Copies of this chain bind each other. A is one copy, B any other.
């Protein structure tokens, strides 16, 4: 999803793409910049660059933590010494797996913690952690000409962190921020992803999003 976020936000904001390998991050950033310039031309006021994860953590106001659930503890432990104190950390992470029944939500079926709680424990303080972007279609997000026509559900404990995120969501065409409550409710947003994937598969829907009507 990183590519989609970079393409959507670079119109106004400076984006740094992170990777364990700085060279890979720089190459990705160059590719995204080419795509963004094609889409926006001279209307692109921001930028896209690439750095290794530690440099990203040290430089950004908002960190979108797009990593698998299984890697949260390990990745966050490595980054915790590098991340700025005032950095807002965003978890779009969804703990899910696939069984014969369909896509399942791991915390409910296996008694493990929701992703947002794992992140908050690994990168304290909890107040700066915000949960969002769980049900965004990667395909639609990358297609910058397309309105998402969807909601994204936000959980977080700190009003300031939540309002920064709300503004960032508002920058994405057709994406509506819907605040659910404190981070402890993040499971209600995370679980929408396996639900959505089950619905899409069983009903042959293509890249659906969730919207409250």
The complex is assembled from copies of this chain, and their number is: 2
A211 within 8 A of B: yes
Output the nearest chain B residue to A150 by Cβ-Cβ distance: B213
What 13 additional pairs, Cβ within 8 angstroms, besides A111-B111, A210-B211? Answer: A101-B181, A101-B184, A101-B185, A102-B182, A149-B213, A178-B199, A178-B202, A180-B195, A181-B198, A191-B191, A196-B212, A208-B212, A211-B211
Q: Is chain A's interface secondary structure helix, strand, loop, or mixed overall?
A: mixed
- The answer, yes or no, to whether A209 is at the interface (CB within 8 Å) is yes
Partner of A108, one of B107, B150, B212: B107
Write the chain B residue with the least CB distance to A205: B212
* A contacts, CB < 8 Å to B: 101-102, 104-105, 107-108, 111, 149-150, 153, 178-182, 184-185, 187-189, 191-192, 194-196, 198-200, 202-203, 205, 208-213
Shortest beta-carbon distance, A181 to chain B, in Å? Answer: 4
